[in-house]
Amino acid sequence: MKTASTALICIVIYSFLMVPFTTYLHKKPFVEKLGYVPSVTALKIVSADHKELVAASLVLKVLMYFGGQVEKPESQIHIPPDYMAMSRMLHGAVKLDPYNMDAYYFAQSFLTWDVKQYKMANDLLAYGMKYRTWDWYLPFLAGFNHAYFLKDYGKAAEYYKRAGELSGSDLSRLLAGRYMQESGQTDLAIAYLSAMEKGERNPSVKKNFRLRMTAFQEVRRIEVARERYLAERGVAPPSLDVLVRDGMLVPPPKDPYGGEFYIGSDGRVSTTSKFAFAGAGRDTTSKESK
């Protein structure tokens, strides 16, 4: 009887305790949640013959953390994910299992667009290509990085060729020919993003791609309107508002990242959000500096 009542009391206390306890865990800083990766050498020893498992779990950890981050923007809390910690983890993962596709693929998606560490991304891809010799995705990604971000069309063409050969499809060849010029940048990005989005299974990553693609489709719409304005009036539109007012841009463009589109002095279409949630509102000075 006594033990039964003790157990009952424990259950009551437990249920009271669980509320603040779970709240506390929920509010823990994200870096803490993501954890720190011990040195890869140590991991290699501890993981014994489970290196692939440990690598996969590191990748999954990053994915889950990122998934939680993508959900957040909708509730208007903009805390940029700790990309560097994510990158460290993924680098650790490919040291343990150099064949882990998820790691390359995911690292590529944020190292370029969000953190702008093109060199780091390309080095990682080159490392992966040494192992995943059959995989056309890695040269495809590298090619895109070189074409879109680094504007190194020669190198990009090389990678695209390799991707084309490996995949046996004409996707990469198509990309290679048509977008290898400055003016084709937006189309290149849209083509790239739609290819990536189609192949994606992870819902939060897929959503991320779709969001970015929507933004680029908006950019494309503005660019089309800009060209039309130039063709009809003979001068470049002085601002985006003019295009909207003149009915060339219906409905008005909307940045899914919460920023505002503008046409820079060089005629390029940009957005104050820089295609990232973190960018919106954080610095409005970027408009001037651009």
Partner 1 sequence: MMTMIGITLKGIFRDRVFQGIMVTACAFLLIPVIASLSMRQVTELSVTLSLSLISFILLLLSVFLGGTSLWKDIDRRYTFSVLGLPLSRQSYLLGRFCGTALFVMLSAAVLGAAAFAVVCYSSAIYPADRPIIWSTMALCILFDALKYILLIAVAFLLSTVSTSFFLPVFGTIAMFFAGGVAQQVHEYILSPASESISPVVRQIANGLYYLLPNFEAFDLKVNAIYGLPLPTGGLLLTLGYFFVYVTFLLSVSTAIFSRRELR
Site residues (CB under 8 A) for partner 1? 44-46, 48-53, 56, 59-60, 63-64, 97, 99-102, 105-106, 132, 134-135, 137, 199-202, 205
Q: How far is the CB of 95 from partner 1 (least distance, A)?
A: 12
Q: How far is the CB of 99 from partner 1 (least distance, A)?
A: 5
| CB neighbours of residue 258 within 10 Å | 17
Instruction: Pick between residue 49 and residue 182 the one whose CB is nearest to partner 1.
Output: 49
Q: How far is the CB of 174 from partner 1 (least distance, A)?
A: 21
Q: How far is the CB of 92 from partner 1 (least distance, A)?
A: 16
Instruction: Pick between residue 103 and residue 225 the one whose CB is nearest to partner 1.
Output: 103
Encoded tokens for 131:
């192992």
Instruction: Pick between residue 19 and residue 45 the one whose CB is nearest to partner 1.
Output: 45
Q: How far is the CB of 34 from partner 1 (least distance, A)?
A: 16
Instruction: Pick between residue 138 and residue 191 the one whose CB is nearest to partner 1.
Output: 138
Q: How far is the CB of 106 from partner 1 (least distance, A)?
A: 6
Instruction: Pick between residue 43 and residue 215 the one whose CB is nearest to partner 1.
Output: 43
Instruction: Pick between residue 197 and residue 246 the one whose CB is nearest to partner 1.
Output: 197
